[in-house]
């Protein structure tokens, strides 16, 4: 059984007990435990079920590489599925449940998949479930989905919040083992700004557990001294419990820091995302131990040798009473020694090598531990827990020589340097035959903006495993990265560590054994699956990975990739480097989506742009619609009033008396300079250079293709200054468009642009009483003579400095008044107060739309959709024929755009007075070669007109303007049609009397 | 070719699956072929398949510089729908969608087409009008779609927050027979079927040049030597510009990175595909249980198959806001693909200025769904030398004439 040892445990505090539940049962552990160590201390070896076969699984590792021991952590609005117990710090009140079983962990129906495993090899689903056709969606797929999937899906909104922060440094060191600490020391001592990150909550990595001397001291002492010095350096920042998850171009690194994971509800953000811009990066990310592939290597109780050592030394937990060690390298002997020191039995060390030797081997021998060379595990016995192993020759096919009873197996297949961060941005790898591992190739690093190496590896991450060599590599990586390549070659050549390739155990294992050797534990990919993939022609690593799902589980192949690759290479008769690795992609370990999304939630999910009057709208019950990042009042419903009724009232009130519109969102771009006129003549389809100072002109802009992209009124402020109004949604786009041309094409033109949209509040005073209101506010002559239609003037109104533009988008007498943003609300309120006697009432965007449609004015985004030209809309008058060039001119001249056969703008009146449905098409006879019904036009704007009391519409119709009076048919989605008569699009006040008073 | 079935699996299980054939052969190239297709992505393989199936042309090689299906075909988020706005688009995507319905049976390879339904959310009034327009167009195009209410949206996708404070859901365009398929299986299934017809799929073979004589193509220079052909089809997605350059013409195509990501797998919680264009993100749940998530393209051109992080972040913001339960899930993998974007966001299936040389490209962010239809149309074009009704409008000359098939009208990004 697994249990807590009576003494020891570097990281636990036996004085602080912490209670937690697993599947509803209360258990206890100590502060400093991980959930995994606490479960082991309570003899909870069985912790989960595998993905495909629902096999019973235990804890395999002690870090982020853990594939098996995942739980649903927390509940309700704090439920987190697939949480790795090995990296979850224990806290009082923690609640965990195991995953992927029904009805219980101990008894799981899904395990039938295990018994049927031979019928469910890799890719079986591609070969079956083909007939009958409907069964896939309705029967097979739902069953497959239900049985896969691992953790429970949260239902609730997350109770926690997340924050994001930026950091900058000269050197970012990733990994707080001795290599990283040394690198941080050497860079820090030189005065570089250093950030040092460690994914675990404690510093030192493997060294304190492995027990070798470091720099002539005990590892613990070295660690204390190093940390002391680093803490004292003001230019060095240390962050534990912070994982660097991805390296992006130009030294951009993301790191996820755990803040309140172990103290839920303490008010702090749960996690923090660091976006670090680093001059360069040192990856001192260590190495991950590899499992060995023998039959039954997934049975609970089989553990990585170093992980077992971690649990004994760090947490004083023994995973078993009798542990068989199986290895192809010296390192696992440490585990044997540690177990012996803790008073636990090690019946045998099975070493696949024919003649193991060296100090660790000798030490084990000296302690009287039985060592069997050239031996392997033929098969692990047991179901939910190891009960013994069968021993065979490594060189054979698995004939059993001996059975040994035991309750745990510690395995080591060598080490894989963590090269993920090195590889994210293109760092290349070399295969090292002595270590049987891929190492970063210092000659082919990822490059920074200056062409120099962006990442340098140090320590075990570079394949260097002996403490003093690690310190040297850390020292050089921190201070002198350019010479690192040479130093590393030398260190590698000097070290005595050798890991012979042992990819399958035993070497000639029979098919039945190979079908029980797990490569990818979580996804249930076995040696036989990879061999099957190779046999079926899925020869590239990527094909094999996808066909078998090898390496695609939540541990991202940290344990399985190299083993799988080696099996594939063997099956293909190729070398491992020839087969190559799959691509390493961020994140290094999975990152919480909430952390990546950060604080952007709810109201502040995106930046919210508010006009100066926004607060007033809110407090007066406006119903808003999003317009870009703005929110604009759609209408102002009174209590009990529907939106449609509110719109109707607002239209009628404005037409009959006085309405007020917050038009502050309109784009306002200043274009200034000696070449401003010439520039605007290129930008707009009509002439702007000839606009007299003091006047306004409606202008159109096209893209290069000749399609209409924006419109608005331009006012000339002085000799070389124009103010260009754009659509609300278009301001930023048009400003960018202007700058694009000025910076990339016409860079020598003397023009300056500034987007002043937010500097002014712009309020439209609209209706027959508009002039009366402004006169009452006083301060400016707004008479017909002083301020005629399409003119503007400057002065003050109600004591507020103002610019009044005499323009109209409603067909009424109308002024748009721009005042400084800071006085926008005051002006709005002044208008309302003074306008009470005229029956003033604010109106929203929908009333605006209805009124402009009644007048036949086009709306960008309704009449246009990126395929419509000014000519299609009857706006030929606004397209200059004189100008030699403007944006879109040549585009418009192309065959298809200049063809007389285009759909053109007209109005429509339904015969029955109803409103044509939004988006309807106008039917034509017959259908095309693809069997689609022919059409001859479509509706672009359609409204109920409160003024005219029937439906009105604008739309595009083939040869439209020449078909006035004709009746056409619009389709409805229910199959019916609506008949309408082609009409002039100006439905209201055709002569323009009302706006021109 | 041994047929795949439950019985075949049972038979093989008894002998430890030692009797399965290769899914496709790995031959050395012959000196020449009737037809050479460059690019063993879904579109290239489907073109070859329908050349054989519909026109009996089987002396065909598909040449691939990497591994088949390793381009965007193996990197996409597998959304299949045909609720496009413009007639030519709706025609070819609906053709493709309907071929997907029976593709598993046709290829004897389970491509896991799952018509679980695709909804495109309307979160502004403008978007509502846009989707109403598409619904009206679809009704006349023979594409079954429907504009549904927010309540129905919630019923179909209970994990969605339909009344967020910023962009409440106002409705959605719903295509019940849209869905997803297993991307690798589509490439592999076509490859296996092509190989069974005797076609050659030549992997690890990069086309480096195009040879021609008297204005017509004669073959391609490759890393495995010269391979002659009577007709050449260029079907290389993100690399179209480069290969067209070898053939001596330029394309109105830009290459940009598009990214996607998946979460760790969880038990089934979402039975439909949701696309949200205003906030910009889309999501579905794979059969493995991963939430499959995608967003927008980078604003700059490049050929590295990784994108910038800020797009991932924007996408996740959008989705965590739309699906609050996502917040505590974890991102497992992110990746990118290089997509080939045309000016009107519609593909090119066309003859080219070089005789007997044809091109199929420009599928951009949304060509997985088109694979069977595109292959069908391209095969017709290559076999007959002239486009059929499905391909006709997608010719290369439309850019010169201004006869766009503009789909950006309907959505910023069309996945
Ligand atoms: C992140 C992402 C998400 C997407 N999501 C969706 C979605 O949800 N739905 C959807 O419908 N579409 C989606 N797409 C788009 C879709 O993936 C593509 O449109 C489609 O797969 C393109 O297929 P293809 O066969 O044309 O190209 P590819 O699959 O890229 O194949 C082209 C092949 O040509 C090869 N090649 C290139 N140059 C040469 C040469 N010189 N010699 C030989 N071979 C060469 C390449 O190696 C490659 O294998 C997405 C794309 C991406 C990147």
Q: Which of B48, B49, B71 to mutate to test the pocket of ligand 1 (most atoms within 8 A of CB)?
A: B71
Same-domain check for residues B338 and B197? no
Same-domain check for residues B225 and B262? no
What lies within 8 Å, CB to CB, of A974 at 6+ separation is none
Q: Which of B190, B200, B365, B394 to mutate to test the pocket of ligand 1 (most atoms within 8 A of CB)?
A: B365
C-alpha A431 to ligand 1 mean position (Å): 31
List, for residues B37-49, the tens digit of each pLDDT value: 999 999 999 999 9
List, for residues A921-979, the tens digit of each pLDDT value: 999 999 999 999 999 999 999 999 999 999 999 999 999 999 999 999 999 999 999 99
Task: Please tell me the predicted confidence (pLDDT) of residue A95.
Answer: 97
For residue A695, tell me if it sits in a domain: yes
Band (pLDDT 50/70/90 cuts) for residue B301 is confident
Task: Please tell me the predicted confidence (pLDDT) of residue B409.
Answer: 64
Q: Where are the beta strands (DSSP E) in A832-920?
A: 841-842, 903-910
Same-domain check for residues B164 and B198? no
Chain B residues near residue A538 by CB distance under 8 angstroms: 23, 188
List, for residues A352-391, the tens digit of each pLDDT value: 999 999 999 999 999 999 999 999 999 999 999 999 999 9
Instruction: Share the mean pLDDT of chain B.
Output: 94
Same-domain check for residues A400 and A418? no
The 3 state secondary structure assigned to chain B is CCCCCHHHHHHHHCCCCCCCCCCCCCCCCCCEEEEEEECCCHHHHHHHHHHHHHHCCCCEEEECCCCCCCCHHHCCCCEECCCCCCHHHHHHHHHHHHHHHCHHHHHCCCCCCECCCEEEEECCHHHHHHHHHHHHHHHHHCCCCEEECHHHHHHHCCCCCCCCCCCCCCEEEEECCCEECCHHHHHHHHHHHHHHCCCEEECCCCEEEEEEECCEEEEEEECCEEEEEEEEEECCHHHHHHHHHHCCCCCCEEEEEEEEEEECCECCCCCCEEEECCCCEEEEECCCCCEEEEEEEEEEECCCCCCCHHHHHHHHHHHHHHCHHHHHCEEEEEEEEEEEEECCCCCEEEECCCECEEEEECCCCCCHHHHHHHHHHHHHHHHHCCCCCCCHHHCCCHHHHCCCCCCCCCCCCCC
For B150-178, what is the mean pLDDT?
A: 97
Number of domains in chain B: 2
Same-domain check for residues A447 and A589? yes
Same-domain check for residues A967 and A935? yes
Same-domain check for residues A262 and A338? no
Q: What three-state secondary structure class fits A433?
A: coil
The answer, yes or no, to whether residue B411 has pLDDT greater than 70, is no
The helix-helix angle for B125-141 and B87-101 (nearest 10°) equals 70
Instruction: Share the mean pLDDT of chain A.
Output: 96
Same-domain check for residues A843 and A963? no
Closest to A128 (Cβ–Cβ): which among B110, B329, B334? B110
Residues 167-206 of B with CB under 8 A from A: 167, 182, 184-185, 188-189, 203
List, for residues A623-669, the tens digit of each pLDDT value: 999 998 999 999 999 999 999 999 999 999 999 999 999 999 999 99
Phi, psi of A553 (to 5 degrees): -80, -175
The answer, yes or no, to whether residue B415 has pLDDT greater than 80, is no
For residue B17, tell me if it sits in a domain: no
Tell me the HSE value of B275 on the side-chain side, using a 13 A CA sphere: 28
For residue B158, tell me if it sits in a domain: yes
Same-domain check for residues A672 and A703? yes
Q: Left, alpha or beta for A811 (phi > 0: left; psi -120 to 50: alpha)? A: left
Residue A952: which CATH number? 2.40.30.110
Closest to B167 (Cβ–Cβ): which among A125, A626, A706? A626
CA-based max dimension of chain B: 65
* Cβ pairs bridging A and B (under 8 Å): 333
- The residue to which tokens 């050929």 are assigned: B303
Same-domain check for residues B259 and B363? no
Burial of B56 (0-12, 13-18, 19+ CB in 10 A): exposed
Cis peptide before A645 (omega within 30 of 0): no
Residues in chain A: 997
> Looking at A728, A758, A788, which one is the last position of a domain?
A758
Residues 396-415 of B with CB under 8 A from A: 398, 400-404, 406, 408-409
Q: Strand order in A323-327's β-sheet? A: A302-304, A408-412, A323-327, A349-351, A371-373
Task: Please tell me the predicted confidence (pLDDT) of residue A699.
Answer: 97
For B136-158, what is the mean pLDDT?
A: 98
Same-domain check for residues B240 and B369? yes
C-alpha B316 to ligand 1 mean position (Å): 24
Classify the C-alpha dihedral A891-A893-A897-A902 as positive or negative.
positive
* Residue with CA nearest ligand 1 atom 4: B76
Same-domain check for residues A31 and A94? yes
- The residue to which tokens 């937990």 are assigned: A317
List, for residues A891-928, the tens digit of each pLDDT value: 999 999 999 999 999 999 999 999 999 999 999 999 99
> Looking at A118, A147, A169, which one is the last position of a domain?
A118
Q: What residues form DSSP beta bridges with A204? A: A177
For residue A866, tell me if it sits in a domain: no
Please name which of A34, A5, A29 lies closest in space to residue A15, comparing C-alpha atoms.
A29
The pair of structure tokens assigned to B109 is 């390879």
Same-domain check for residues A707 and A775? no
List, for residues B318-346, the tens digit of each pLDDT value: 999 999 999 999 999 999 898 999 988 99
The answer, yes or no, to whether residue B414 has pLDDT greater than 50, is no
Provide the 8-state DSSP code for A17.
E
The whole-angstrom distance between residue A528's C-alpha and the CA centroid of its chain comes to 35
Report the C-alpha gap between B185 and A533 in whole angstroms: 14
Q: Compute the 3-state secondary structure of chain A and give helix, strand, coil in percent, each to the nearest 5.
A: 30, 30, 40
Torsion of CA B353, B357, B360, B362, to 10 degrees: -30
Chain A residues near residue B389 by CB distance under 8 angstroms: 928-930
Stretch (H or E) spanning A209: helix A207-210
For residue B67, tell me if it sits in a domain: yes
Contact A282, A181 (CB under 8 A): no
For residue B82, tell me if it sits in a domain: yes
For residue B11, tell me if it sits in a domain: no
For residue B16, tell me if it sits in a domain: no
For residue B385, tell me if it sits in a domain: yes
CB atoms within 10 A of CB A757: 23
Contact B330, B264 (CB under 8 A): yes
Report the C-alpha gap between A679 and B124 in whole angstroms: 34
Task: Please tell me the predicted confidence (pLDDT) of residue A360.
Answer: 97
Q: What residues form DSSP beta bridges with A718? A: A721
Q: What residues form DSSP beta bridges with A761? A: A819
- The residue to which tokens 């469910």 are assigned: A120
Please name which of A858, A854, A852 lies closest in space to residue A871, comparing C-alpha atoms.
A858
Q: What three-state secondary structure class fits A177?
A: strand
Residue A723: which CATH number? 3.30.70.1400
| Interface contact A896-B133, CB threshold 8 A | no
Same-domain check for residues B259 and B334? yes
Task: Please tell me the predicted confidence (pLDDT) of residue A149.
Answer: 86
Number of domains in chain A: 7
Classify the C-alpha dihedral B235-B239-B240-B242 as positive or negative.
negative
For residue A889, tell me if it sits in a domain: no
For residue B409, tell me if it sits in a domain: no
For residue A144, tell me if it sits in a domain: no
Domain boundaries, position B262 = 118-178+255-342
Chain B residues near residue A160 by CB distance under 8 angstroms: 327-328
Residue-wise DSSP of A442-493 = TTSPPB-TTSSBSEEE-GGGGT--SHHHHHHHHHHHHH-GGGHHHHHHHHHH
Same-domain check for residues B169 and B149? yes
Residue-wise DSSP of A48-89 = EE-TTT--EE----SSTT-SS-EEEES-GGG-EEEEEGGG-B
Report the C-alpha gap between A729 and A710 in whole angstroms: 10
For residue A841, tell me if it sits in a domain: yes
Report the C-alpha gap between A811 and A993 in whole angstroms: 9
| Interface contact B110-A592, CB threshold 8 A | no
Report the C-alpha gap between B180 and A927 in whole angstroms: 30
- The residue to which tokens 């036996």 are assigned: A14
List, for residues B343-394, the tens digit of each pLDDT value: 889 999 999 999 999 999 999 999 999 999 999 999 999 999 999 999 999 9
Report the C-alpha gap between A375 and A837 in whole angstroms: 102
Cis peptide before A928 (omega within 30 of 0): no
C-alpha B48 to ligand 1 mean position (Å): 16
Report the C-alpha gap between A425 and B160 in whole angstroms: 35
Classify the C-alpha dihedral A937-A941-A943-A947 as positive or negative.
negative
List, for residues B180-228, the tens digit of each pLDDT value: 999 999 999 999 999 999 999 999 999 999 999 999 999 999 999 999 9
Same-domain check for residues A440 and A404? no
Same-domain check for residues A655 and A702? no
Report the C-alpha gap between A84 and A87 in whole angstroms: 6
For residue A447, tell me if it sits in a domain: yes
Burial of A801 (0-12, 13-18, 19+ CB in 10 A): middle
Phi, psi of A774 (to 5 degrees): -65, -35
List, for residues A142-169, the tens digit of each pLDDT value: 888 888 889 999 999 999 999 999 999 9
Residue A548: which CATH number? 1.10.10.1100
Contact A388, A347 (CB under 8 A): no
Report the C-alpha gap between B339 and A313 in whole angstroms: 52
Task: Please tell me the predicted confidence (pLDDT) of residue B412.
Answer: 40
Report the C-alpha gap between B287 and B378 in whole angstroms: 31
Same-domain check for residues B359 and B385? yes
> Looking at A821, A852, A883, which one is the last position of a domain?
A852
Residue A389: which CATH number? 3.50.50.60
Same-domain check for residues B330 and B261? yes
Residue B334: which CATH number? 3.30.9.10
Contact A481, A280 (CB under 8 A): yes
Stretch (H or E) spanning A804: strand A800-805
Q: What residues form DSSP beta bridges with B135? A: none
Residue A50: which CATH number? 3.10.20.440
Same-domain check for residues A374 and A420? no
Same-domain check for residues B331 and B276? yes
Low-confidence stretches of chain A (pLDDT < 70) are: none
The gap between the terminal CA atoms of chain A, to the nearest Å, is: 96
Same-domain check for residues B312 and B277? yes
Same-domain check for residues B169 and B298? yes
| Interface contact B327-A133, CB threshold 8 A | no
What lies within 8 Å, CB to CB, of A157 at 6+ separation is A77, B161, B324, B325, B327
Same-domain check for residues A331 and A189? no
C-alpha angle A281/A283/A288, rounded to 5°? Answer: 160
Report the C-alpha gap between B131 and B125 in whole angstroms: 10
How far does the CA of residue A698 sit from the closest CA of chain B (Å)?
Answer: 24
Domain boundaries, position A402 = 291-413
Strands A977-983 and A903-910 come out as antiparallel
């Amino acid at each position: 059984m697994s249990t807590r040892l009576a003494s020891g445990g570097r990281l636990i505090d036996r004085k602080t007990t912490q209670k937690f539940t697993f599947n509803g049962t209360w258990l206890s552990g100590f502060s400093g435990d991980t959930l995994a160590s606490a479960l082991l201390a309570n003899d909870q070896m069985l912790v989960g079920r595998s993905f495909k076969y629902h096999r019973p699984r235990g804890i395999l590792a002690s870090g982020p590489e853990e594939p098996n021991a995942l739980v649903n952590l927390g509940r309700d609005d704090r439920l987190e599925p697939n949480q790795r117990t090995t990296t979850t710090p224990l806290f009082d009140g923690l609640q965990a449940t195991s995953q992927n079983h029904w009805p219980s962990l101990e008894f799981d129906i899904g395990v039938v998949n295990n018994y049927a495993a031979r019928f469910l090899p890799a890719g079986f689903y591609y070969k079956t479930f083909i007939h009958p056709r409907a069964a896939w969606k309705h029967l097979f797929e739902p069953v497959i989905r239900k049985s896969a999937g691992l953790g429970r899906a949260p239902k609730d909104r997350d109770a926690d919040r997340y924050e994001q922060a930026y950091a900058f440094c000269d050197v970012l060191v990733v990994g707080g083992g001795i290599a990283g600490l040394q690198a941080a020391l050497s860079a820090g001592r030189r005065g570089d700004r250093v950030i040092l990150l460690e994914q675990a909550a404690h510093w030192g990595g493997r060294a304190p557990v492995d027990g070798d001397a470091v720099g002539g001291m005990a590892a613990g002492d070295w660690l204390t001294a190093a940390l002391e010095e680093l803490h004292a350096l003001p230019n060095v920042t240390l962050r534990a419990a912070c994982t660097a998850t991805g390296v992006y171009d130009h030294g951009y690194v993301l790191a996820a820091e755990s803040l309140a994971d172990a103290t839920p509800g303490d008010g702090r953000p749960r996690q923090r995302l660091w976006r670090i811009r680093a001059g360069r990066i040192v990856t001192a990310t260590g190495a991950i131990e590899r499992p060995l592939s023998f039959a039954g290597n997934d049975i609970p109780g089989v553990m990585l040798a170093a992980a077992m050592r971690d649990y004994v030394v760090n947490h004083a937990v023994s995973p078993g009473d009798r542990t068989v060690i199986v290895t192809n390298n010296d390192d696992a002997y440490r585990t044997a020694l540690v177990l012996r020191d803790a008073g636990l039995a090690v019946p045998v060390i099975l070493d696949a090598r024919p003649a193991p030797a060296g100090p660790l081997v000798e030490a084990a021998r000296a302690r009287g531990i039985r060592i069997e060379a050239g031996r392997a595990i033929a098969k692990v016995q047991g179901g939910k827990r190891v009960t013994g192993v069968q021993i065979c020759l490594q060189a054979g096919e698995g004939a059993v020589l001996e059975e040994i009873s035991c309750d745990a197996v510690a395995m080591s297949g060598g080490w894989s340097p963590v090269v993920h961060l090195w590889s994210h941005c293109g760092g290349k790898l070399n295969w090292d035959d002595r270590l049987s591992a891929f190492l970063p190739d210092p000659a082919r690093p990822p490059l920074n903006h200056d062409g120099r190496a962006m990442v340098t590896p140090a320590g075990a991450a570079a394949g260097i495993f002996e403490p003093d060599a690690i310190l040297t590599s850390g020292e050089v990586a921190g201070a002198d990265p350019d010479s690192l390549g040479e130093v590393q070659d030398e260190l590698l050549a000097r070290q005595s560590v050798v890991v012979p390739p042992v990819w399958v155990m035993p070497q000639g294992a029979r098919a039945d054994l190979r079908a029980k050797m797990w490569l990818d534990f979580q996804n249930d990919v076995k040696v036989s699956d990879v061999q099957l993939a190779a046999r079926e022609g899925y020869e590239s690593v990527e094909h094999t990975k996808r066909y078998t799902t090898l390496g695609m589980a939540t541990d991202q192949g940290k344990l399985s990739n190299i083993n799988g690759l080696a099996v594939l290479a063997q099956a293909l008769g190729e070398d491992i480097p020839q087969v190559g690795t799959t691509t390493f992609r961020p994140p290094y370990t999975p990152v919480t989506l909430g952390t990546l999304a950060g604080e952007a939630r709810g109201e502040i999910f995106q930046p919210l742009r508010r006009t100066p009057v926004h607060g007033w709208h809110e407090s007066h019950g406006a119903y808003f619609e999003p317009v870009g990042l703005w929110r604009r009042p759609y209408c102002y419903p009174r209590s009990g009033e529907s939106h449609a009724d509110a719109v109707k009232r607002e239209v009628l009130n404005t037409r009959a008396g006085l309405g007020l519109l917050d038009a502050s969102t309109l784009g306002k771009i200043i274009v200034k300079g000696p070449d401003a006129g010439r520039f605007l003549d290129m930008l707009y389809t009509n002439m702007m250079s000839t606009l007299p100072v003091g006047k306004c002109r409606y202008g159109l802009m096209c893209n290069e293709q000749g399609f209409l992209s924006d419109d608005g009124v331009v006012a000339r402020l002085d000799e070389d200054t124009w103010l260009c109004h754009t659509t609300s949604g278009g301001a930023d786009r048009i400003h960018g468009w202007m700058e694009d041309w000025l910076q990339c094409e016409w860079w020598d033109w003397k023009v300056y642009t500034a987007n002043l949209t937010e500097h002014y509040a712009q309020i439209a005073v609209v209706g027959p009483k508009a002039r009366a209101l402004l006169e009452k506010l006083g301060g400016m002559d707004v008479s017909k003579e002083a301020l005629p239609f399409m003119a503007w003037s400057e002065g003050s109104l109600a004591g507020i400095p103002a610019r009044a533009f005499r323009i109209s988008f409603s067909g009424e007498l109308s002024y748009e008044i721009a005042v400084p943003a800071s006085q926008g609300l005051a002006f709005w309120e002044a208008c309302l107060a003074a306008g009470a006697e005229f029956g003033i009432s604010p109106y929203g965007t929908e009333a605006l739309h209805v009124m402009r449609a009644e007048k036949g004015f086009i709306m960008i985004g309704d009449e246009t959709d990126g395929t419509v030209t000014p000519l299609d809309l009857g706006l030929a008058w606004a397209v200059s024929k004189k100008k030699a060039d403007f944006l879109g001119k040549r585009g418009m001249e192309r065959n298809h755009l200049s063809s007389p056969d285009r759909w053109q703008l007209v109005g429509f009146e339904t015969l029955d007075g109803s409103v044509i449905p939004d988006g309807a098409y106008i039917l034509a006879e017959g259908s095309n070669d693809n069997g689609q019904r022919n059409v001859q036009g479509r509706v672009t704007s359609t409204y109920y007109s409160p003024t005219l009391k029937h439906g009105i519409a604008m739309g595009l119709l083939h040869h439209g303007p020449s078909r006035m009076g004709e009746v056409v048919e619009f389709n409805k989605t229910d199959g019916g049609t609506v008949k309408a008569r082609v009409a002039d699009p100006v439905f209201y006040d055709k002569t323009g009397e009302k706006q021109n008073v | 070719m041994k047929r795949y079935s439950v019985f075949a699996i049972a038979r093989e299980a008894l002998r430890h699956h030692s009797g399965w054939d290769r899914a496709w052969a790995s031959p050395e190239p012959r000196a020449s072929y009737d037809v050479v297709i460059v690019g063993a992505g879904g579109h290239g393989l489907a073109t070859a398949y329908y050349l054989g199936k519909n026109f009996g042309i089987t002396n065909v090689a598909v040449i691939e510089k990497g591994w088949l299906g390793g381009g965007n075909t193996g990197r996409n988020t597998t959304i299949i729908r045909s609720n496009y706005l413009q007639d030519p688009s709706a025609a070819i995507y609906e053709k493709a969608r309907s071929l997907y319905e029976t593709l598993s049976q046709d290829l004897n390879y389970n491509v896991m087409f799952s018509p679980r339904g695709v909804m495109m959310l309307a979160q502004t009034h403008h978007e509502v009008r846009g989707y109403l327009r598409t619904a009206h167009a679809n009704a006349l195009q023979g594409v079954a779609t429907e504009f549904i209410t927010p309540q129905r949206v919630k019923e179909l996708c209970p994990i969605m927050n339909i009344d967020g404070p910023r962009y409440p859901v106002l409705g959605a365009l719903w295509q019940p027979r849209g869905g997803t398929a297993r991307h690798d299986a589509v490439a592999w299934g076509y490859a296996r079927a092509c190989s069974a017809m005797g076609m050659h799929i030549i992997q690890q073979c990069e086309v480096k040049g195009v040879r021609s004589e008297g204005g017509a193509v004669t073959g391609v220079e490759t890393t495995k030597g010269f391979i002659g052909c009577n007709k050449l089809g260029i079907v290389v997605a993100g690399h179209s510009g480069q290969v067209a350059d070898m053939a001596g013409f330029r394309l109105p195509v830009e290459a940009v990175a598009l990214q996607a990501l998946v979460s760790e797998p969880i038990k089934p919680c979402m039975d439909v595909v949701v696309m949200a264009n205003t906030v910009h993100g889309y999501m579905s749940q794979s059969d493995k249980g991963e939430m499959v998530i995608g967003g927008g393209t980078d604003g700059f051109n490049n050929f590295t198959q990784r994108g910038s992080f800020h797009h991932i972040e924007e996408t996740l913001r959008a989705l965590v806001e739309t699906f609050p339960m996502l917040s505590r899930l974890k991102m497992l993998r992110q990746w990118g693909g290089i997509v080939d974007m045309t000016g009107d966001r519609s593909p090119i299936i066309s003859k080219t200025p070089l005789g007997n040389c044809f091109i199929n490209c420009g599928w951009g962010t949304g060509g997985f769904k088109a694979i069977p239809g595109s292959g069908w149309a391209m095969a017709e074009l290559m076999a007959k030398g002239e486009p059929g009704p499905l391909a006709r409008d997608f010719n290369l000359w439309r850019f010169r004439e201004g006869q766009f098939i503009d789909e950006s009208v309907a959505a910023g990004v069309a996945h």
